[in-house]
Homo-oligomer: A and B are copies of this chain.
C-alpha cells in the first residue's frame, strides 16, 4: 500500500506537504503542488480514509437502521436515501432491524464513529431514543417517531387515515374493518387515532369492534382477513394501515375466491410502487416516499454539518389516491 510518506519521499517533499496538497492545496506553492500531484498519480496513491477519520474525528458515514425490505415501504425509501447520502459525500452503513441483538449493533455503530444516524423503524417508546441522545451525535427519525420527539420527518398519519376513512364512508360503507399494526410505532398509533376520528365525525365513534390490532406480519394479516370474511356479516370494506398489509389481504381475499372490490373493498396506506400496477390498482394514501427519505437524509447531513439546528421536525401532508379497489357500496 502506498502511503503519503511514500509519495513524499518520491516527490522530495515532507509528508506534511503531501497531506496539504490534499487538504489545503492553496497553501502549497503551485510548482510543489504539481509535482506532488504527479507523483500521486504515478504511484496511484489513495489516501487512507481510516487514518484520516481517526484524526479528524469524523468518518463521513451515516448509519441507516431500517425496517426489513420484506416490507415494500422501506425499500423505496432506502434507495433514494442512500443515493442522496452518496451524492452529498457520505457513505451509508446499513443495518436491518430485528437481526442480532440491537445492543451488539449499537456497539458497532458507536464504535465506528458514524457522523449521524437515520432510523426508519423507531418505536414510540423505544429506549433506543435515550441511548442515542446520550451519544451526542445527530440522529433523525423518518416515518416513525418517538414519543419524545427529536428530529423527524413523518407523514400526518392522523389526517391521512381520516381522509382515507372518510372516502370509504362516503362510498356508503358502514361495516368496516381497520387492520392496524399492534407494534408500538407512531405510525400505527396515529393511524388508529385517525380512523377513530373519522368514525367520530359521522357519529360512529363507539364502533371499536371495527378495529383489529395485530402483529403486522403476513400470517397474522392473512388469518385476520380470513376470519373477517367468514363472519356472519363480513365487512364491506377493509382498510389496512399499510400497503404491505393490504397486499397480503388482497392476496388472501383472491385466494379465497373473493373479488376486490366486488365482494369487498380494500385500501392500504403508503402508496408503495407496486400498488399502482394495473393488476393491483390499490386505493391508498400517498406519502411521497422518496422525498420523505431524501428530506430525512438532507436534514441529517445539515444537522451533522451544523447548517441547521435541532430539532428539525417535518410533517408531510397526505394525499388520497383513489384507484380500483374501492367503489360505491350502492353498486
Contact = CB atoms under 8 A, between A and B. Distances in A.
Contact of A107 (B46, B53, B69, B255): B46
Interface in A16-31: none
A214 interface: no
A111 B79 contact: no
Interface in A274-299: 274, 277-280
Contacts of A79: 68-70, 96
A277 B82 contact: no
Given A278-B251, A279-B251, A279-B279, A51 B48 contact: no
Interface in A70-113: 70, 75-76, 78-79, 82-83, 86-87, 91-96, 99-100, 105, 107-108, 110-113
A75 B71 CA distance: 10
Contact of A250 (B91, B92, B279): B279
Contact of A92 (B78, B83, B94, B247): B94
Main secondary structure of the interface of A (DSSP, over half): helix
A61 B86 CA distance: 17
B111 A87 contact: no
A59 interface: yes
Interface size range on A against B: 35 or more
Contacts of A108: 49, 91
Contact of A111 (B47, B54, B250): B47
A202 interface: no
A100 B112 contact: no
Nearest to A44: B134
B107 A83 contact: no
A86 B95 contact: yes
A254 interface: yes
A212 to B, nearest CB: 21
A39 B34 CA distance: 51
A50 interface: yes
Given A69-B76, A79-B96, 13 more contacts: A46-B111, A49-B108, A50-B50, A51-B54, A70-B79, A75-B75, A82-B95, A82-B96, A87-B100, A93-B93, A254-B278, A255-B278, A277-B280
Interface of A: 46-51, 53-54, 59, 61, 68-70, 75-76, 78-79, 82-83, 86-87, 91-96, 99-100, 105, 107-108, 110-113, 247, 250-251, 253-255, 273-274, 277-280
19 contacts: A49-B111, A50-B50, A50-B111, A70-B273, A75-B75, A79-B96, A82-B96, A83-B96, A83-B99, A86-B99, A87-B100, A94-B94, A250-B278, A251-B277, A251-B278, A254-B278, A254-B279, A255-B278, A279-B279
